[in-house]
């Protein structure tokens, strides 16, 4: 994927859209991608919050607010609240029942490979409707079972079978970084990686979740 692609994390019945824009590292051969922009759009009141590695913008068409990451601020507009912690994170809350946290990750300005990027965290206790969808919203409360855990090709990464939505998937044990408590080093969070771009776990193909712009909603079948 290139930086022209926008991925939809979450759609709540043409009410809330949470989308992200991909950027890539500076490495010409190794194709690593990150989130460079995250957008939260609340359609009923036309409020849009756009978070980039440079700034945080909030608009409803008539009232516009733009902040740099040097600011600490707390503002509410038409049921949408943004809380900015200087050089660290911004939390977007919609009607007190849906929340999205975006963390800022800075790298050394002269780093030859890595780029500044954003981390996205969506709490498990968000109050979704049954019609929520998207890459994260595909299955907000999945019934998942993991069994037949055994040694894999890599001795540090076990393999297993995951059963979800009637599908049996090969999964590999690994870890990702959670930066919510330690924004510099992060902490290891162990998880199961699903192969083949999430086939069998997400609905459809991952390319179904590419949208034309940051305020787009996923077209439900």
Residue 199: Cβ within 10 Å count:
13
Render pLDDT for 62-115 as a digit per residue (tens, 0 to 9): 889 999 999 999 999 988 999 999 999 999 999 888 899 999 988 777 776 678
Q: How far apart are CA 82 and CA 119, in angstroms?
A: 16
Q: How far apart are CA 168 and CA 92, in angstroms?
A: 36
Instruction: Give CA 105 to chain center in angstroms.
Output: 14
Asked whether 135 and 7 are in contact (CB, 8 A), the reply is yes
CA-CA distances (angstroms) from residue 11 to 30, 57, 128, 131, 133? 31, 20, 10, 8, 5
pLDDT > 90 in the chain, percent: 32
Q: Is the pLDDT of residue 117 over 80?
A: yes
Mean pLDDT of the chain: 82
Render pLDDT for 148-196 as a digit per residue (tens, 0 to 9): 999 988 888 899 999 988 889 999 998 887 777 776 677 888 888 888 8
pLDDT > 70 in the chain, percent: 82
List the domains of the chain with CATH numbers. Answer: 6-138+203-211 (3.40.1000), 144-198 (no CATH)
Tokens 């009232």 map to which residue?
63
């Amino acid at each position: 994927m290139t930086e022209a692609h926008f991925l939809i994390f979450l759609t709540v019945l043409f009410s809330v859209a949470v989308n992200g824009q991909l950027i890539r590292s500076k490495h010409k051969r190794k194709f690593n991608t990150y989130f460079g922009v995250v957008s939260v759009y609340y359609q009923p009141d036309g409020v849009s919050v756009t978070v980039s590695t440079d700034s945080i913008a909030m608009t409803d068409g008539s009232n516009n607010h733009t902040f740099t990451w040097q600011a600490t601020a707390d503002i509410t507009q038409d049921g949408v609240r943004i809380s900015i912690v200087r050089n660290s994170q911004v939390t977007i809350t919609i009607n007190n029942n849906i929340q999205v946290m975006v963390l800022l990750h800075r790298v050394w300005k002269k780093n030859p490979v890595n780029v500044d990027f954003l981390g996205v965290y969506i709490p498990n206790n968000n109050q979704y409707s049954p019609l929520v969808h998207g890459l994260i919203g595909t299955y907000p409360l999945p019934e998942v079972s993991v069994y037949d855990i055994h040694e894999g090709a890599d001795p540090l990464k076990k393999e297993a079978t995951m059963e979800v939505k009637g599908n049996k998937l090969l999964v590999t044990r690994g870890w990702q970084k959670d930066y919510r408590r330690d924004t510099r080093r992060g902490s290891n969070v162990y998880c199961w990686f699903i192969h083949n771009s999430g086939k069998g776990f997400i609905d459809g193909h991952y390319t179904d979740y590419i949208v034309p712009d940051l305020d787009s909603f996923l077209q439900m079948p």
